[in-house]
Amino acid sequence: MALVANQFLRFFKFFVFWMIFFWLAKAFFLISNFEQTHQLSMSEVFGIFGYGLKMDISTACYLLVVPGLLLSLRSFVPLRFVNRFFWIYTLIFLIIASFLVVLDLGLYPHWGTRVNITAFNYIDDPVAMSASVSIVDVLLGLLIGGSLIAGFMFLYRKLFPEGVAIAGKVTWYASFLQLLLVATLIIPIRGGLDTSPLNLSSVAFSPKLYVNQAASNYLWNFAKSVEKRKRLSNPCAYMPKDESVRLFNRFMKNDSVVTRPQLIHLNPGKQPNVILVILESFSNKVIAPLGGMHGIAPNLDSLCANSTVFTNFYSTGNRSDRGVSAVLGGYPSLLSTSIMVYPEKSRSLTLLPEYFNRHNYNTSFYYGGDINFYNLKTFVLQSNCGKITTKADFPAKLGRMTKWGVPDGYVFEKALEDLKLEKEPFMKTIYTVSSHPPYDVPYSKIKGSSNEAKYLNSVAYTDSCLGVFIDGFRKSPLWDNTLLIVTSDHGTLPPGPTDITEPASYRIPLIWSGGVVDSLQRIETITQQVDFGTSLIHQLGWEADSSKFAKDFFTSHPFAFYALDSGWGYVTPEGEYYFDQNIRDFARKPNLKTSEDLQFPKAYMQVLHDDFISR
């Protein structure tokens, strides 16, 4: 057992070796960008190392997997070979890691992003490269890179003068224990046992982009960009690029605002409060006044009867990140991803809370789940939301009640309690979680073990929690000066039967209620999530920032797009379209007078993906 313990100790020292390298690289980054670093507080600097620790550990553990597996085969592989492999493996990755350190330090001041695969787009253009890099830059880069390699190979020799693998007879159980140790690396690699795996949100802790970028591990960031590169090619190249831009611009220019009904009453001397409730996985199929089932969501049914409702409001996709990107960022879903999972692209958006911050609102965000999921934390921090409440702010036992976190009832209860101390005007976003699979809610209204029965029961639970929140809020004097908006992040397949390509799977609630709602209306116009933020800003009497894709609800040519991995849908008053990416043609379309009607939606999707790639 002494041999096993000593071997584990040396393996741990190999892990520490890489951690020292990453900490030094982080220090170099902060020193290299001193103009921005010196504006940070000490707590932010310590936070960069503290919050970034999880990603540094993950990256170091990635580097331990292959040599760890080789150590578990020591009973079959000669000692000299194993130690020689460790030395060569370390040298190769030191060269790669040091080269990327130099690139990271050199490119960040110009690009404002950590090193990623995009840097290699220009490596085959020596003219552009030489125009951007001076001989001093090259020499300094060689000095830093060479010093890192030489210094850490010297440290490697000091830590492991005889090699990482220990001489001696290796028993079968020692190999088994080593293999078990390697298997456990999956936990730090994915960032722990939380629902969401490690992502950039996992280390984000500040509304300052630079701080969160500095906290991330540059090598992890680079590897992730390599993995994502395949997503950065346009899957919707249906026509020459100039033609797609021409068709898109012509249509959007002619899609002007017609008569815009004023949905809320504005008091010249007092800004209205806004509470936005985003329900997880709710579709119109569970709300009776919107054409859905009876008895599933009685509180929403009742709310519809006393509110302005949009009956043809469509989600932009079938995933949470896509819906949140549209509701808060005004950006459509892409075929296989969303802009929210690319923080360095999403920072170009004006997020909804930012408009309220400009008008001196107190902004807050509530979410009972793991806010690192899909980079949600980074997205919310980017909006400069004044207060963020997540699973971590509740007692640990509540966070363990369900797989996805704190049940909705406790989150609504917290939000209602906070309203007693809320300063007006305020903008509060509450994002529910309990109706996310596996639907394990502390509630039992609808019996059954089928997926549909469990989904309906979770919907009924969230509806009951929302009902308690609304009933409590109505008793508050704040109700008369508040706009309460209830919507969803995306639709669902259950309750069926609907297909994932059908518009019914994307039609979701949009309900405007509260004391400032001017009149009760049933708006049948086709509307979509992407246009929600712009339309709300206009209703408040403010100007929305220029946006290529977000428009007002009440334009002359209403339409809605939704995207899934295998294709996209387009809904207009004339009919419903579905374009299948596999056959590269419309699998469903209305009877049209001209083929021109088919060109705009294709141009829209092509321009959208080109825009995403270029951000």
Q: pLDDT, tens digit, for every residue of 364-396?
A: 999 999 888 878 998 999 999 999 999 999 999
Residue-level pLDDT at 133: 53
Q: What is the mean pLDDT of residues 234-262?
A: 91
Q: In the predicted model, what is the mean pLDDT of the chain?
A: 90
Q: Same structural domain for residues 155 and 272? A: no
Residue type, 168: G
Within a domain: residue 124? yes
Specify burial of residue 360 (Cβ count, 10 A radius: 0-12, 13-18, 19+). exposed
Q: Same structural domain for residues 204 and 272? A: no
Alpha-carbon distance 330 to 309, whole Å?
20
Specify burial of residue 437 (Cβ count, 10 A radius: 0-12, 13-18, 19+). middle
Within a domain: residue 564? no
Within a domain: residue 579? no
Alpha-carbon distance 232 to 238, whole Å?
16
Counting residues of the chain whose pLDDT is more than 70, the rounded percentage is 95
Report the number of distinct structural domains present in the chain: 2
Walk across the sheet containing 522-523 and list its strands.
Answer: 387-389, 362-367, 426-431, 273-279, 482-488, 510-513, 308-310, 522-523
Residue-level pLDDT at 128: 41
What are the two backbone dihedrals, phi and then psi, of residue 225, each rounded to the nearest 5 degrees? -70, -35
Query: Helix, strand or coil for residue 194?
Result: coil
CATH number for the domain harbouring residue 437: 3.40.720.10
Query: Helix, strand or coil for residue 45?
Result: helix
Within a domain: residue 238? no
Within a domain: residue 58? yes
Q: Same structural domain for residues 171 and 263? A: no
Residues 319, 338 contacting (CB under 8 angstroms): yes
Residue-level pLDDT at 594: 61
Determine if residue 439 is left, alpha or beta; phi over 0 gives left, psi from -120 to 50 gives alpha, anything else beta. Answer: left
Alpha-carbon distance 578 to 184, whole Å?
45
Strand partners, 522: 309
Alpha-carbon distance 323 to 46, whole Å?
34
Q: Same structural domain for residues 156 and 204? A: yes
Within a domain: residue 326? yes
CB neighbours of 33 closer than 8 A, spacing ≥ 6? 108, 109, 210, 214
Q: Which of 523, 555, 587 is the last residue of a domain?
A: 555
Prediction pTM value? 0.77
Alpha-carbon distance 209 to 200, whole Å?
11
CA atoms within 13 A on the CB side of 104: 29
Which residue, among 173, 184, 185, 176, has the nearest Cα to 1 in the 3D structure? 173
Q: Which of 555, 572, 588 is the last residue of a domain?
A: 555
Residue 601, token pair as written in the block: 């939606």
Residue-level pLDDT at 216: 92
State pLDDT tens for residues 98-144.
Answer: 999 998 888 777 666 788 776 664 454 454 444 445 677 778 888 99
Tokens 């387009």 -> residue: 570
Q: Same structural domain for residues 9 and 51? A: yes
Residue-level pLDDT at 120: 64
Query: Cα 123 from chain centroid?
Result: 30
CB neighbours of 372 closer than 8 A, spacing ≥ 6? 191, 194, 196, 198, 199, 201, 202
Residues 562, 333 contacting (CB under 8 angstroms): yes
Q: Same structural domain for residues 209 and 305? A: no
Residue-level pLDDT at 132: 46
Q: Same structural domain for residues 361 and 485? A: yes
Residue-level pLDDT at 30: 95
Residue 448, token pair as written in the block: 């059954």
Residues 247, 603 contacting (CB under 8 angstroms): yes
Within a domain: residue 19? yes
Q: Same structural domain for residues 62 and 176? A: yes
Q: Same structural domain for residues 73 and 141? A: yes
Cα–Cα distances in angstroms (integers) from residue 154 to residues 19, 24, 65, 150, 157, in the given order: 16, 15, 23, 6, 5
Q: Which of 537, 555, 573 is the last residue of a domain?
A: 555
Q: Same structural domain for residues 267 and 158? A: no
Walk across the sheet containing 585-588 and list its strands.
Answer: 560-564, 567-572, 575-580, 585-588
pLDDT for 146 beyond 60 = yes
E strand or H helix at 426: strand 426-431
Residue-level pLDDT at 157: 94
Q: What sign does the CA torsion over 375, 378, 382, 388 have?
A: positive
Alpha-carbon distance 557 to 604, whole Å?
14
If one compares 178 and 483, the residue with the highest pLDDT of the two is: 483
Rg (CA), the chain: 27
Within a domain: residue 245? no
Q: Same structural domain for residues 155 and 284? A: no
> What domain range includes position 299?
257-555
Residue type, 92: I
What are the two backbone dihedrals, phi and then psi, of residue 350, each rounded to the nearest 5 degrees? -95, 110
Cα–Cα distances in angstroms (integers) from residue 586 to residues 149, 500, 528, 565, 607, in the given order: 56, 15, 21, 15, 18
Residue-level pLDDT at 181: 86
pLDDT for 418 beyond 90 = yes
Residue-level pLDDT at 131: 42
Q: Same structural domain for residues 323 and 224? A: no
